Structure 1
Amino acid sequence: MYESGEDYLEAILMIRNEKDIVRSVDVARKLMVSKPSVSRAMGILKDDGYIFFDENQHIVLTEKGFEKASSIYSRHKLLTAFLMKIAGVSEEQAEKNACRVEHCIDSDIVAGIESWMKNN
């Protein structure tokens, strides 16, 4: 999955956690992208089995989508906390950098950071 697909899944999960329902317009606002961009991305995520649309055209994560989105969001939160603790940067700066790093970091590095954070 590409970085943009991960961003869309993470946004869907975050919106769902805030509002219970997810509409395309909510995703567009959250990611600051156009509605046509969201429409295209949702089509790809649907075709790949990560989401479906309910009877009201709300976006719903499939089990596969929820697992992927949760994994991405967990990495994001972990990296944000790590950067704040280690680098002593603001939450805003840590968030921005965590968002960039979360897509390319190896799982063994994530596990090492997670272990270090638990012990320190």
Structure 2
Amino acid sequence: MKLHASGEDYLEAVLVLQLEKGMVRSVDIARHMEVSKPSVCYAVGTLREGGFLTTDENHYLHLTDLGQDVAEKIYERHCFFTKQLIAIGVDPETAEADACRIEHDISAETYERLKALGNLK
């Protein structure tokens, strides 16, 4: 299943909230992403069908191995671009928003080369 940017954002949100809270429910995602509960419900269903998420009997969300892998890659990119943009003087709030857009559109090759370049400093 090909993930769109929004699906990647949901997986990243689950990962971030798991790191912060331990357990995550759909309502936590809605608050974190500032989206409606029905939007989260639809996304969770789609991600569950794609094998990226599971839910337990208490309605907690859990990343599958596939979902964890995707979420970690997206989150790593997000952190990298946010840090780099702030380092060149971009306002942190703008850097965060721009990183969120860049993380989805840049190729793996370009990202790896930028990351390697960033490690040289």
Category of TM-score, reference length = shorter chain: over 0.9
Which runs of structure 1 show a deviation greater than 2 angstroms over 4 or more consecutive aligned residues?
Answer: none
TM (norm. structure 2) is: 0.95
Work out the percentage of aligned pairs sharing the same amino acid: 45
Gaps of 5+ in 2: none
Question: Is residue 2:93 matched to residue 1:92?
Answer: yes
TM (norm. structure 1) is: 0.96
1:21 to 23, 29, 32: 23
In the TM superposition, 1:29-108 aligns within 5 A as 29-86=31-88, 88-108=89-109
Gaps of 5+ in 1: none
Say what the alpha-carbon RMSD is for the aligned residues. 0.8
Q: CA deviation at 1:55?
A: 2.1
What CA distance in whole angstroms lies between the structure 2 residues aligned with 1:30 and 1:85? 25
- Relative to structure 2, which stretch is displaced further, 76-85 or 96-105? 76-85
